[in-house]
Amino acid sequence: MYIKTVTEDRKEIFTILKAFTAGKYEAEKLVYNHVSFTPIENSRYNVCEYEDELFFTKSGRLWLNRLTETFTSDFEKESMENVKKKITQGCIKPDKYIKEICEFPINGELTVIKYAD
């Protein structure tokens, strides 16, 4: 049985991600959902939603499953176009992941999944 804890606090998200990738946070896996926006013109933006699932393999490597969904959004008209989904997965170095995450604004929500005792 698993226990899920969800947080949206930016400081807590960063602290947990950094500790988990360093192997200093007890959890089965983390699921981090976050969004980035790039302005095009007026109320139109390129939007990219990320769902990162992080866990350690039996050999101790950090594994990342990432689902990205990109689209153009017009906030004024509340419309979306050109939805594209992409899935990537593979081992990633903890420092590289933290550096990449720091390039985004820390936002969204982090789900911590632990075994129940």
For all residues of the chain together, what is the average pLDDT?
Answer: 90
Q: How many residues does the chain have?
A: 117
Residue boundaries of the structural domains of the chain:
2-115
- What is the reported pLDDT for 43? 85
* Helices vs. strands in the chain: H and E counts, helices first: 2, 6
CA torsion angle for 39, 99, 24, 6 (degrees, to 10)?
A: 0
- pLDDT tens digits for 41-94? 888 899 899 999 999 999 999 999 999 999 998 878 888 888 889 898 999 999
Average pLDDT over residues 20-42: 92
Residue pair 115/36 in contact by the 8 Å Cβ criterion: no
Residue pair 74/43 in contact by the 8 Å Cβ criterion: yes
Q: What are the CA-CA distances from residue 85 to residues 20, 66, 70 (Å)?
A: 27, 10, 7
Average pLDDT over residues 95-101: 91
* Sign of the four-CA dihedral 86, 36, 31, 103: positive
Is pLDDT of 115 > 80? Answer: yes
- What is the reported pLDDT for 81? 86
Using 50, 70 and 90 to split pLDDT, how confident is the model at 20?
A: very high
